[in-house]
Amino acid sequence: MRLTSFILIAIVAVAAVQTEAAKLEPRQQRAPRCRSIRNRREIRTLSDAERNRFFAAVRAIQSGPRPTTYDRFVQTHYDNRLTAHGWPWFLPWHRALIREFERKLQEHDPTVMLPYWDWAYDSQAPEQSPVWHSTWLGGNGQPGDRCVTDGVFAQWQPFYPEPHCLRRDWAGGQNVIPALYSPEMLNALAQRSMTFTDFNRQTESPPHNAVHVSVGSDMGTMYSANDPIFWIHHAFVDKQWNDWQRLHPRNYHAYEGINSDGTPAVANDWLRPFPYRVADVFDTQNLCYMYAPFRVGTLFNGKNNGINNGTVSVPAPLPPTTPVNSSSMVLDALDRTEILGLRMPRPIPETWLRMNNANIPQVRQTEAFIRGIVANVNRVRTHVSPSVPVSQPEMLTNMINTAATNNGQLTATRKDRQMVIDAAALKGSSSSSSSSSNDQVTGMVQHMINSLQSQSEAVEDASYTEEDTLDSVIGAEAAKQLRDNYGL
Ligand SMILES: [Cu+2]
């Protein structure tokens, strides 16, 4: 009798748990089948028409009675902030989130795919990225209220936590965003991450967080999805996971750790409130998309540089170059004079790390590791990062403009003879570009190279050795991936 009632109670209890679980579980509909698998592309490789259709689709889901479809995504991200940041959920949950966002865009316009923003390519002067252009996402917030007053989303009024203007407050000041993580740094992190746990953590913090805190205001809160830059930022983070999965095929389906509720993280976990289990999102093709690589070509190939179809304004005359202390191998995140070296991103503020459940000592360790990468890459005379200004005509032009306006000086720290030869060789490899503006930039850069050359006659830096190649600094695998991704 006792046993029977115990069993009865047990059955009732199990049933109650199951009912409770069913209530908490997402609509267990199967994710929609793919009619086709299409590419998500880097935003600057879209045509003007394609880009405008993407913007129009975002505007469409921002319209209607509040909260709009867009607002609800912001709230969903907020509601899951404590489970989706600092835990194994970070990568898979955000993959599901942006896929659902993309599906909503496609309900409005089936041709649209979510683009990604390769901020690593823009990492050495992120404020000069075309994404901030006044016909794209607009720039920094204005002084005072921080309201964004230009771009496609200038009139966008985020609804949560209360209605307000879209705000940005660049951490470097009115015209500067501190340096972000460069392709070399991301590659080095991907290379050394041998488990999902390592990669998930090291992608979230610091590289992904750096974008949030550097753009600031809405992006620097748990309502970060208020800023449409969020979606193309997270698409790039998602691409990094996909790249890593393919880099370490053994880890393609790797998933482990402890969830925020203390349970073991397993591939069968539902990514609430989305209709996917973790296992459903390992393969992006299961979610109907793949990532097109972003090949930017080599030095002075202006083809993929975005704004105004490659038109660049060229100032004259060139400001003088001056020698820089060659022992300073780690450049400041706000440095905008050095044209050849990598800048060290700023440490992620402790308040942000605490808000995101990050393991703070681990993040500081990763930052120290990155500092070593920066120093080493800056010592390598045979490598010009695709992200440094000298690789990008627009960025170089903007820096020269700024230097001219501020009566400042444009410098190059690695001005040894080999670097000049390398730069000249890279320049020669893209002689096919024919537009007159590119010719002007090329002429200007030639002037700079000549100037560096004459200085370099006098500079002998004993710290360089023959073994200083990119391969020996970030590893042959990482170097190869970098070359593949960026067409070096
Ligand atoms: Cu998030």
pTM score, two decimals? 0.83
* Phi and psi angles of residue 245, each rounded to the nearest 5 degrees, phi first: -60, -35
Task: List C-alpha distances in Å: 55 to 49, 105, 131.
Answer: 10, 10, 12
Q: How far is the CA of 191 from the centre of ligand 1 (A)?
A: 24
Q: How far is the CA of 471 from the centre of ligand 1 (A)?
A: 34
**Which residues have a Cβ under 8 Å from the Cβ of 310 and sit 6 or more positions away?**
302, 303, 435, 437, 438
User: CA-CA distance, 484 to 222, in Å (whole number)?
Assistant: 35
What is the mean predicted confidence (pLDDT) over 192-208?
Answer: 97
Continuous segment of H or E residues that includes residue 372: helix 360-379
**Which residues have a Cβ under 8 Å from the Cβ of 12 and sit 6 or more positions away?**
none
* Phi and psi angles of residue 125, each rounded to the nearest 5 degrees, phi first: -160, 70
Q: How far is the CA of 79 from the centre of ligand 1 (A)?
A: 10
Q: How far is the CA of 94 from the centre of ligand 1 (A)?
A: 7
Burial of residue 313, with CB atoms counted within 10 A of its CB: 0-12 exposed, 13-18 middle, 19 or more buried = exposed
Q: How far is the CA of 224 from the centre of ligand 1 (A)?
A: 8
User: CA-CA distance, 382 to 52, in Å (whole number)?
Assistant: 39
Residue of higher predicted confidence among 372 and 367: 367
Q: Which pair of tokens denotes residue 93?
A: 């949950």
User: CA-CA distance, 155 to 309, in Å (whole number)?
Assistant: 26
Number of residues written out for the chain: 488
Q: How far is the CA of 234 from the centre of ligand 1 (A)?
A: 8
Please say whether the beta carbons of 148 and 141 come within 8 A.
yes
pLDDT in tens, 169-185: 999 998 899 999 999 99
Instruction: Lowest mean pLDDT of 84-88, 389-393, 411-415, name the range.
Output: 411-415
Q: How far is the CA of 160 from the centre of ligand 1 (A)?
A: 15
Residue of higher predicted confidence among 382 and 15: 382
**β-pair partners for 110:** none
Q: How far is the CA of 286 from the centre of ligand 1 (A)?
A: 22
Instruction: Lowest mean pLDDT of 319-323, 337-341, 466-470, 479-483, name the range.
Output: 319-323
Q: How far is the CA of 348 from the centre of ligand 1 (A)?
A: 15
Nearest to 412 by CA among 350, 440, 454: 454
Q: Which pair of tokens denotes residue 293?
A: 């690589």
User: CA-CA distance, 427 to 138, in Å (whole number)?
Assistant: 32
Q: Which pair of tokens denotes residue 437?
A: 């503006």
**What ranges do the domains of the chain cover?**
27-291, 302-486
pLDDT in tens, 119-141: 999 999 999 999 999 999 999 99
Q: Which CATH superfamily is domain 27-291 in?
A: Di-copper center containing domain from catechol oxidase (1.10.1280.10)
Q: How far is the CA of 81 from the centre of ligand 1 (A)?
A: 7
What is the mean predicted confidence (pLDDT) over 11-20?
Answer: 40
Concatenate the DSSP letters of all residues of 123-164 into one string. Answer: TTSGGGSGGGSTTTT--PPPTTT-B--SSTTTT----SSS--
What is the mean predicted confidence (pLDDT) over 201-224?
Answer: 97
Q: How far is the CA of 96 from the centre of ligand 1 (A)?
A: 11
pLDDT category at 103 given cuts 50, 70, 90 is very high
What is the mean predicted confidence (pLDDT) over 74-95?
Answer: 97
Task: List C-alpha distances in Å: 219 to 231, 233, 344.
Answer: 11, 10, 21
Q: How far is the CA of 223 from the centre of ligand 1 (A)?
A: 9
Q: How far is the CA of 227 from the centre of ligand 1 (A)?
A: 12
pLDDT in tens, 464-485: 444 457 777 788 888 888 888 8
